[in-house]
Chains A and B, each alone.
Chain A
Amino acid sequence: MTWIWSNMDLIWDRTLDHLVLSVPSIILSFVIALPFGWLAHRYRASRAVILTTVGLLYAIPSLPLFIVLPFIVGTSIRSPLNLIIALTLYGVALMVRVVADGLGSVDRDVQQSATGVGFSGWTVFWQVELPLAGPVLLAGLRVVAVSTVSLATVGAVIGAQSLGSLFTDGIQRGIQEEIIAGIVATVLLALVLDAALVLFGRLLMPWTRRSAIGVAARNSAVVAGVTT
């Protein structure tokens, strides 16, 4: 414990580093996955191609990707940008299927009646389909958040600072408390981000609060996300 108390500053700094890596990656994954998920949902022909491609993306082992990516995009190997790109790719790989499933879960009757009363094509998407896919999207985003936070630790192996640095450093220098601090802090950070997402969802989707709608959808999305 003494190591932890005397190194609170270090843990805090690594936590911030970790956030700088994961939060942009999570947001970017969502934003990028949206159009691809929409395409996969909307056009039968594109569905198989897109979903297979993102499935393969997720199969790329992370360490080689971290090392190869700088040569492809021209960043330095230790640059956080390098890591953010890699993490975003994995996030997109998870999220595209979730977006497609989420849009697919929207009640066709509701969508038809929105069209029938005079919503135009894009207003149906932004005001009806997207919000109603919300519970599924949120469930997927939670999976992405947790997996991104845990994956970001791998960057430490190639020298990018994060909470992962605590356990690489701890192993090298034989400080057991540092290793444990790294693991615990990573788990805590994942829990905090997850809780923030849940809160965010409650604020943004008040209609799911007082009824059972979306619960089933949420659960099925978690399964879909995990098995991608």
Chain B
Amino acid sequence: MIEFHAVTNRFPDGTLAVDDFSLVLPSYKTTVFVGTSGSGKTTLLRMINRMVDPTSGSIDIDGADIGTLEPVKLRRGIGYVMQNSGLLPHRKVIDNVATVPMLRGMPKKRAREEALQLLDTVGLDRSLANRYPSQLSGGQQQRVGVARGLAVNPNILLMDEPFGAVDPIVRAELQQELLRLQRELGKTVVFVTHDIDEAFLLGDQVVILRTGGKVAQVGSPAEILANPIDEFVATFVGADRGKRSLHVENHGDGDIVVDETGRLAGVLVGSSTTSSRASAASQSGSESQCGSESKAGPRGPGASAQGGDSR
């Protein structure tokens, strides 16, 4: 469990990056910090492994104030993955993964063996082990980054926009992999993103930040979607634009889920009754507003709607 107690961070140049931030990040869950650029997400994350120290306030990990711990030792026990993977370009993939265990004193041979197993874990072919990072695709590099983050078998995994620089298809793949890993490994994950959809997909707890590291709202994705606390959050999650209010349209070929702006959100699956009712109601193929039972509305997209929030 990670606890922020009234944490404030002001950089020497006067920038207030985080302002009086208090939060409990439960163990074995994923907490996502989401906000626009400059809202203090990275700073918050880096305070957990003491790459940045708070100006005031304190952070506890499992009850111990990390301000009293030696930063390098602390970091070697916490997984850290960042955008553009942050891999060492002059070390082979396998050595990148084996690096931190070796810094902790593990013999090279064993560190490399375990690194190979970690490549399996993150779904990378072992044949890539002897390549340099520049010889991998962006998605593969991120997987190596995750493997490196897992190498010391940490309880805590810090991820700073790890999928920000890969194309949408690969990103979706990596997100699913992370969900799978999280099901298998049950780490305490702290994930930073500016993408609200990613936040809702991955987060058990989502923290929406506004500029200056101020919390706008904390809650589960469902809670936030159901009750955006204010205008800012509603705008941020897209509820105000009707992006989250879905309804079903029938297009002859099948049921299509559409948001209020008319944008395609997905297809309706696994509810043949709705489907047949809908098509019965509109033989001509013109738009048919469904009854309230199939209109997702502000309570979040229905569980059967693919493409929106899938949690």
Residues in A with CB closer than 8 Å to B149 are: 117
Q: Does A75 sit within 8 A of B, measured CB to CB?
A: no
CA gap between A118 and B158 in the complex, in Å: 13
Q: Does A213 sit within 8 A of B, measured CB to CB?
A: yes
Q: Does A7 sit within 8 A of B, measured CB to CB?
A: no
Minimum CB–CB distance from A72 to chain B (whole Å) comes to 41
Interface residues as binary, B97-124 with A (CB distance below 8 Å gives 1, 0 otherwise): 0011001100000000000000000000
Residues in B with CB closer than 8 Å to A205 are: 90
CA gap between A118 and B154 in the complex, in Å: 13
Q: Quick one: closest A residue to B133, CB to CB?
A: A207
Question: B72–A112 contact, CB under 8 A?
Answer: no
Question: A132–B90 contact, CB under 8 A?
Answer: yes
CA gap between A120 and B99 in the complex, in Å: 13
CA gap between A207 and B76 in the complex, in Å: 26
Residues in B with CB closer than 8 Å to A134 are: 90
CA gap between A207 and B91 in the complex, in Å: 7
Q: Which of B81-89, B233-241, B264-272 contacts A (4 or more CB under 8 A)?
A: B81-89
Residues in B with CB closer than 8 Å to A113 are: 80, 82, 85-87
CA gap between A131 and B88 in the complex, in Å: 10
B49, B80, B86, B99: the one contacting A109 at CB < 8 Å is B86
Minimum CB–CB distance from A74 to chain B (whole Å) comes to 44
Question: B88–A114 contact, CB under 8 A?
Answer: yes
Q: Categorize the interface residue count of chain A.
A: 20 to 34
Residues in B with CB closer than 8 Å to A49 are: none
Q: List 12 A-B contacts (CB under 8 A).
A: A114-B86, A115-B51, A116-B46, A117-B76, A117-B80, A117-B100, A118-B103, A118-B104, A119-B72, A207-B89, A207-B91, A211-B132
Question: B100–A109 contact, CB under 8 A?
Answer: no
Question: A109–B134 contact, CB under 8 A?
Answer: no
Residues in A with CB closer than 8 Å to B91 are: 207
Minimum CB–CB distance from B93 to chain A (whole Å) comes to 11
- Using a CB–CB cutoff of 8 Å, the interface residues on chain A facing chain B are 107, 109-110, 112-120, 123, 128, 131-132, 134, 205, 207, 210-211, 213
Residues in A with CB closer than 8 Å to B29 are: none
Question: A117–B135 contact, CB under 8 A?
Answer: no
Residues in A with CB closer than 8 Å to B135 are: 210-211
Chain A CB within 10 A, most for which of B51, B86, B148, B158 = B86
Residues in B with CB closer than 8 Å to A120 are: 72
Question: B89–A117 contact, CB under 8 A?
Answer: no
Question: B76–A118 contact, CB under 8 A?
Answer: yes
Minimum CB–CB distance from B95 to chain A (whole Å) comes to 11
Question: B132–A109 contact, CB under 8 A?
Answer: no
Minimum CB–CB distance from A223 to chain B (whole Å) comes to 23
- Using a CB–CB cutoff of 8 Å, the interface residues on chain B facing chain A are 46, 49, 51, 72-73, 75-76, 80, 82-91, 99-100, 103-104, 132, 134-135, 148-149, 158
* A116 with B89, Cβ < 8 A, contacts A207-B132, A211-B132, A213-B134 known: no
Residues in A with CB closer than 8 Å to B82 are: 109, 112-113, 116
A107, A117, A207: the one contacting B75 at CB < 8 Å is A117
Question: B76–A110 contact, CB under 8 A?
Answer: no
Residues in B with CB closer than 8 Å to A211 are: 132, 134-135
Given A116-B86, A132-B89, A207-B91, 8 other A-B contacts at CB below 8 A? A109-B83, A113-B87, A114-B88, A115-B51, A116-B82, A116-B158, A117-B148, A211-B132
Residues in B with CB closer than 8 Å to A116 are: 46, 49, 51, 75, 80, 82, 86, 158
CA gap between A125 and B134 in the complex, in Å: 21
Q: Quick one: closest A residue to B42, CB to CB?
A: A112
CA gap between A119 and B76 in the complex, in Å: 8
A107, A109, A110, A123: the one contacting B103 at CB < 8 Å is A123
Question: B72–A128 contact, CB under 8 A?
Answer: no
Question: B89–A118 contact, CB under 8 A?
Answer: no
A107, A115, A123, A210: the one contacting B132 at CB < 8 Å is A210
B72, B88, B90: the one contacting A118 at CB < 8 Å is B72
Chain A CB within 10 A, most for which of B51, B86, B90, B100 = B90
CA gap between A147 and B168 in the complex, in Å: 52
CA gap between A78 and B207 in the complex, in Å: 75
B46, B89, B104: the one contacting A110 at CB < 8 Å is B89
Minimum CB–CB distance from A129 to chain B (whole Å) comes to 11
Residues in B with CB closer than 8 Å to A128 are: 88
Minimum CB–CB distance from B263 to chain A (whole Å) comes to 35
Residues in B with CB closer than 8 Å to A110 are: 86-89
Minimum CB–CB distance from B12 to chain A (whole Å) comes to 13
Question: A207–B134 contact, CB under 8 A?
Answer: yes
Chain A CB within 10 A, most for which of B51, B72, B88, B134 = B88
Question: A112–B86 contact, CB under 8 A?
Answer: yes
Question: A213–B89 contact, CB under 8 A?
Answer: yes
